[in-house]
């Protein structure tokens, strides 16, 4: 879809003005992730856990039999709450060194138990990656107070 076509779809009153988040997918193709959680339910993203203070997580074609090959594990995942996509997360396998100069780490490093809690219908290889080499995640929220999110009705 062209930039001009996307601009025609904008709605300044909605959380996501284009009705979606656009992210790089496999083979450099632009991937549209709907702003509506009902659309996520019907998409290639599989419903995973809802975490208080975060929201309902969805992972691309994630099942217990998913391969952990680089062309199967999409690093992006949408997060929904109250019928809309409210965040996008990024998951990477590996470790990041702590920044000694700034003494800040904006990333999360969930262990195996946390990954299993967030992605309860994932493959064993994903949980193994959490052990070695490790998992790094970060979340970008489009709402003002994600810490108020609960999972009632989600």
User: What is the pLDDT, as a whole number, of residue 17?
Assistant: 64
Helix (H) or strand (E) holding 131: helix 124-131
Determine if the peptide bond prior to 98 is cis (ω within 30°): no
Q: Tell me the CA distances in angstroms from 96 to 42, 70, 104, 107, 126, one per residue in order.
A: 35, 19, 12, 9, 18
CB atoms within 10 A of CB 65: 7
User: What is the pLDDT, as a whole number, of residue 121?
Assistant: 97
Hey, CA dihedral for 58, 64, 69, 71, is it positive or negative? negative
pTM: 0.85
Q: Tell me the CA distances in angstroms from 3 to 13, 18, 19, 36, 119, one per residue in order.
A: 20, 11, 14, 21, 34
Mean pLDDT over all residues of the chain? 89
User: What is the pLDDT, as a whole number, of residue 152?
Assistant: 78
CA torsion 106→36→57→133, rounded to 10°?
Answer: -60
Above 70 in pLDDT, residue 60?
A: yes
Helix (H, G, I), strand (E, B) or coil at 28: helix
User: What is the pLDDT, as a whole number, of residue 3?
Assistant: 73
| Total number of residues shown for the chain | 154
| Least-confidence region, from 15-19, 50-54, 131-135 | 15-19
Q: Tell me the CA distances in angstroms from 72 to 55, 69, 150, one per residue in order.
A: 24, 5, 30
- β-partners of residue 140 are 88
């Amino acid at each position: 879809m062209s930039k001009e076509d996307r601009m025609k779809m904008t709605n300044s009153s909605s959380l996501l003005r284009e009705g979606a988040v656009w992210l790089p997918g496999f083979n450099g193709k632009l991937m549209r992730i709907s702003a509506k959680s009902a659309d996520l339910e019907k998409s290639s993203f599989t419903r995973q856990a809802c975490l208080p203070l975060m929201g309902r997580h969805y992972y691309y074609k994630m099942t217990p039999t998913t391969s952990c090959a680089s062309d199967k594990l999409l690093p992006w995942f949408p997060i929904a709450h109250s019928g809309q996509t409210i965040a996008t997360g990024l998951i990477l396998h590996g470790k990041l060194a702590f920044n000694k100069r700034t003494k800040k780490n904006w990333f999360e490093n969930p262990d195996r138990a946390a990954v299993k809690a967030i992605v309860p219908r994932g493959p064993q290889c994903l949980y193994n990656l959490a052990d070695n080499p490790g998992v790094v995640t970060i979340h970008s929220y489009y709402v003002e107070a994600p810490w108020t999110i609960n999972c009632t009705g989600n």
